[in-house]
Structure 1
Amino acid sequence: MSRIVYVNGEYLPEEEAKVSIFDRGFLFADAVYEVTSVLGGKLIDFDGHAARLQRSLGELDMANPIEIEDLRQVHRELVTRNDIDEGMIYLQISRGADNDRDFVFPDAETVPSSIVLFTQSKPLTQAPAAKTGLKVISIEDIRWGRRDIKTVQLLYPSMGKMMAKKAGADDAWMVEDGEVTEGTSNNAYIVKDGRIITRHLGREILHGITRAAVLRFAREAQMQVEERAFTIEEAQQADEAFITSASAFVMPVVEIDGKTLGDGAPGPVAQRLREIYIEESRNTAS
């Protein structure tokens, strides 16, 4: 059965889905996105993703073409129509499609924003990498300065993943002014002497929804959390490391730039946080 997607108010088979060649998401990467995970056919932290979506739209002065409660219903409808038990829902809103290409923003009163959603069915709780851990390399962070806005400008992160693949690794951590910002599609953490260390919020990194939940759970579990920048050298001397994202949840990191952490196996803090996150997400998914 063909996957059903949502495009500008319509549910369509993916083969019939179309957007204009003049859509600014296609021409200028003038679009924002969110990815909401699904567990047991229910949405994880939809409200958090919706709030960040609103913030991203506001920072770019872009209109939201759909009310949040209607958006929630679209998510649920796509889960039902595509019979998703575990997976993700990708949402993208662009500034719309004018009748030609122009750097100047179109008038929002006459050119409505475009919205697209589709599902991806994939195992999340039983991801093989959770048992083996990830290997990461470091690369220079040369992205634009507003990484706190979740835009579709993902060319360099995509290149970073390809750099990692070419180096025989799984992902890359980006470094700016000698300090780790984040992974190509995730937030980065190290653990030293029982303390969880992750970069503080700012324009340099995406304000991860999973990050916020994991840090809250860590503090509730009486774990020490320190929000500050760290270097690759410090990370290589850490007891363990991990990443968080909507699709990976909490994923251990066992090697950084060829340096093995600990005994080369996923560490206890990352493993415990993954267990807590999955349990709490199952309990609160809606």
Structure 2
Amino acid sequence: MSMMSSTKTDAIDWSKGAAYVNGAFMPISEARVPLTDWAYRRSDVVYDVVSVWDGQFFRLDDHIARFRRSIKRYRFTPQETDAELRQILHRIVAMSGLRSAYVAMDCLRGQAALGIRVPSKAKNYIACYAAPFTSLVPEEHLQRGLKLAISTIPRIPHECVDATAKNFHWGDMNMAMFEAEETGADFPLLLDFKGNLTEGPGFNVFIVRDGVVATPDYNMLEGISRQTVIELCAELGIDVQVRPISAAEVRDADEIFITSTAGGVIGASQIDGRIMNNDRPGPVSSELRETYWEKRKSGWHTEPVNYDAV
């Protein structure tokens, strides 16, 4: 792989982030995708996102491995190896100088020759960026708890779009978010066509009933933060089940919490207008959130950013 270089200079503001697109490094403000690329015109992209906190990547191996599975699932053929991708991610964080960052890696379908409309003939390429870390929700929402609502918009079926391969097909998610906003909720939860819980826009979902934690087993992204919580439950002696969850179970849950790279574990306080736990996140949700951040700050599953990789 041949990667073009970009030199850090005092004249360039890297504080907003750094990017790598199709072999070249640049400030994030200069990163572009052509309007005619199928990535843009057909939402033909797979991606992954890893977080950096206090100069440490969290579960970088797992994120790269899932990204590679997504690449293969949607038949992309980028030139970069996993080892080269790791170097790219370290370098863009180092170029930005960020200590806490949101680091995305995308694989995009480019264009084929004029008149060719077969995806196997299109060029593929990698684009990555590191930007300042932002949480899925503001701090006051973390303390108050999320207001969630079950959407009337169903999740795209697995048979049509494989949700385990992280992709840009967000039409159902976006419409559900409009609907949630109109009802006063922070976020929607999407069901499948059988009426079972799947996920929300950018996060996995867990419920708690009688001290037992449960999360869906089908038609959703198998999130790295989701897996982290399953591991934490085992450490804390909390029973956890991975199984179908009906809408009725969600509405009757003692607690609900979500998991995302952009925030870790985030508790809910309401579901469809019903108040839980005195309108605050519940005790299991809070324990898992606290444990998650304690272990992250202690170096659990972390890899130091190589800030010399500029």
Taking structure 2 as the reference length, the TM-score comes to 0.85
Conserved in 1, the CA contact under 8 Å of 2:21 and 2:127? yes
Q: Is the 8 A contact 2:54 2:100 kept in 1?
A: yes
Q: Deviations over 1:118-139 (max 9, x none)?
A: 2231354984322111011111
Ranges in structure 1 where 5+ consecutive residues have no aligned partner: none
Given candidates 271, 274, 285, the residue that maps to 2:289 is: 274
CA RMSD of aligned residues (A): 1.9
How many residues are aligned here? 281
Instruction: Say which SS state the counterpart of residue 81 (structure 1) adopts.
Output: helix
Partner SS for 2:85: helix
Is it true that 1:133 corresponds to 2:148 in the alignment?
no
Equivalent residues in 2 for 1:1-286 (5 A)? 1-2=13-14, 3-100=17-114, 102-107=116-121, 111-124=122-135, 127-139=139-151, 140-145=153-158, 146-176=162-192, 177-200=194-217, 202=218, 204-282=219-297, 283=299, 284-286=301-303
Instruction: Confirm or deny: 8 A CA contact 2:18 2:131 kept in the other structure.
Output: no
Uncovered stretches (5+) of structure 2, i.e. residues with no partner: 1-12, 304-310
Asked if structure 1 preserves the Cα contact closer than 8 Å seen for 2:149 and 2:272, the reply is yes
Residue type of the alignment partner of 1:114: Y
Check 1:180–1:127 CA distance in 2 against 1; reply closer, same or farther (3 A cut).
same
Tell me, yes or no, if the aligned pair for 1:134 and 1:255 is still in contact at 8 Å: yes
Q: Aligned partners of 1:129 and 1:193: how far apart in 2?
A: 25
Q: Distance in 2 between matches of 1:25 and 1:7?
A: 13
Shift of 1:65: 2.6
- Alpha-carbon contact 2:102-2:134 (below 8 Å) kept: no
Check conservation: 1:5, 1:17, Cα contact below 8 A. Answer: yes
CA distance in 2, matches of 1:30, 1:118: 18
Q: Mark the CA change 1:244 to 1:225 in structure 2 (over 3 Å): closer, same or farther.
A: same
Contact 1:164-1:172 within 8 A present in 2 as well: yes
Q: SS of 1:128's equivalent?
A: helix
Q: Mean alpha-carbon deviation: is it higher for 147-156 or for 47-56?
A: 147-156
TM normalised by structure 1 equals 0.91
